[in-house]
Amino acid sequence: MPFTNERKRSTVILEPPGDDNDVLYVYTKGADDVMLPRLSDQQTGCQGVTASVAAAVNRYSLEGFRTLIFAMKGILKEQWHEYKKRMNDIALMEPGSVKESLLEAIYEEVESELIPLGCTGMEDRLQEHV
């Protein structure tokens, strides 16, 4: 799921090695303002992690750093195949706002209830001649 200026995030779906895996992994990175609402502390052992990530983002922002949040979740292969089928059907549609909004709705489903992994704060210095 590609990065765009509107989405402010990107996502990859990874399959672990081996033939007996029923689970795929969704990894998403993006700007804090779009990622924080997508995070969930509902997984066992993750309580409070979203608050810790939000606090770190706040500290980095106060220092003037550009922040990114990283998160993941597992989804069943069967569920991913259904998403993929829907995306393929949408790809056959004529270009336009309906097509884009349907794709975005799928992205929203996939990129929800994410488990926070952490965040980064990067100094984004201006470069000469750019």
- The pTM of this model reads 0.80
What pLDDT is recorded for position 121?
Answer: 84
Q: Cβ(57)–Cβ(67) under 8 Å?
A: yes
CATH code, residues 9-80+112-122: 3.40.1110.10
pLDDT greater than 80 at residue 1: no
The residues near 44 (Cβ < 8 Å, ≥ 6 apart) are: none
How does pLDDT run across 79-92, given as a tens digit for each residue? 999 989 998 888 88
The residues near 47 (Cβ < 8 Å, ≥ 6 apart) are: 41
Q: Cβ(118)–Cβ(53) under 8 Å?
A: yes
Instruction: Residue 13: name the closest of 106, 90, 80, 109 by CA.
Output: 80
